[in-house]
């Protein structure tokens, strides 16, 4: 069909539509004009029937647009369910999904007994546990520091000598081998301390309130005690 012919048909169809509109309006205009109110009276049966129709119509009809939307939602939900069910039937997908929640490669579960560390209290805890050394033997310099929030370690070094000081939250359970023949009780500024030697490393541990202090070093006992006594 040529473009001209198409346009021509459209013109004819427009003409038909226009004539159809006029025809129906004329038809109903004539009927409207011919209505004489005194002419028309409905029977009692008709009035009852209309009343019943009105009563039934008061029951809300589901809105078609919403039915359409709900059908779409149900259809989408069904499609998603099928996709998920199909994906989960594959072992590899199921395992991958599970790894988001559980680390399947880890053989044990870490339990954090420390104070709960959050981004908000991290700085606060770090300052609380940071050891303030009042005495550092001559020639030693800071080797490294490490902090996880509820504990703080500093290590000083000089040639082959070193010492580390750890200040941390007192663990719920902490045991000291009092039967160790190399161990002895030492008073640190009025607090009970415990000195021991393990693998040629001298270890001094004491607690003040809920904080545990540890000094480990290959330095002699007197130097370690001096470091401990000057710790704030």
Partner 1 sequence: MLFFTPDADRSKRIEIIYNKYCKFMYKVAYDILKEKYYAEDAVQQSFIRIINNLDKIGDIESQKTRNFIGLITRNISIDIYNSRKKQSDAIGDDITENPDNDLSAIIIKKETVANLKKYINELKPIYYIPLVMKAQGYSVNEIADTLGINSKTVQKRIERARAVLYKKMREDI
- Which positions touch partner 1 (CB under 8 A)? 5, 8-9, 12-13, 15-28, 31-32, 34-35, 37, 40, 42-43, 45-46, 49-50, 53-54, 57-58, 60-64, 66-67, 69-70
Nearest approach in angstroms of CB 69 to partner 1 is 8
Nearest approach in angstroms of CB 24 to partner 1 is 5
CB under 8 Å to 225, separation ≥6 — which residues? 186, 188, 195, 204
Measured distance CA(55)–CA(49) in Å, rounded:
10
CB-based contact 15:7 (threshold 8 Å): no
Nearest approach in angstroms of CB 85 to partner 1 is 24
Question: Is the Cβ of residue 65 or residue 85 nearer to partner 1 in the bound state?
Answer: 65
Question: Is the Cβ of residue 60 or residue 222 nearer to partner 1 in the bound state?
Answer: 60
Question: Is the Cβ of residue 37 or residue 116 nearer to partner 1 in the bound state?
Answer: 37
Question: Is the Cβ of residue 51 or residue 132 nearer to partner 1 in the bound state?
Answer: 51
Strand order, beta sheet including 191-198: 141-147, 151-158, 161-169, 211-217, 201-208, 191-198, 184-188
Question: Is the Cβ of residue 3 or residue 107 nearer to partner 1 in the bound state?
Answer: 3
Question: Is the Cβ of residue 55 or residue 141 nearer to partner 1 in the bound state?
Answer: 55
């Amino acid at each position: 069909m040529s473009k001209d012919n198409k346009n021509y048909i459209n013109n004819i169809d427009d003409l038909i539509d226009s004539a159809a509109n006029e025809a129906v309006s004329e038809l109903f205009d004539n009927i409207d004009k011919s209505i004489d109110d005194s002419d028309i009276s409905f029977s009692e049966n008709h009035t009852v029937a209309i009343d019943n129709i009105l009563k039934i119509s008061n029951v809300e009809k589901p809105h078609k647009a919403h039915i359409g939307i709900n059908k779409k939602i149900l259809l989408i939900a069904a499609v998603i369910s099928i996709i998920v069910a199909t994906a989960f039937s594959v072992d590899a997908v199921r395992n991958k999904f599970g790894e988001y929640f559980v680390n399947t490669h880890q053989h044990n579960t870490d339990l954090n007994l420390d104070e709960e560390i959050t981004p908000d209290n991290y700085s606060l805890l770090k300052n609380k546990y940071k050891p303030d050394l009042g005495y550092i033997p001559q020639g030693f310099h800071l080797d490294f520091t490490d902090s996880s929030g509820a504990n703080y370690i500093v290590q000083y070094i000089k040639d082959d000598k070193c010492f580390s000081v750890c200040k941390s939250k007192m663990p719920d359970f902490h045991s000291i081998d009092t039967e160790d023949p190399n161990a002895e009780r030492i008073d640190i500024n009025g607090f009970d301390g415990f000195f021991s030697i393990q693998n040629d490393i001298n270890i001094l541990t004491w607690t003040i309130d809920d904080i545990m202090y540890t000094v480990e070093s290959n330095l002699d006992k007197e130097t370690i005690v001096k470091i401990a006594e000057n710790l704030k």
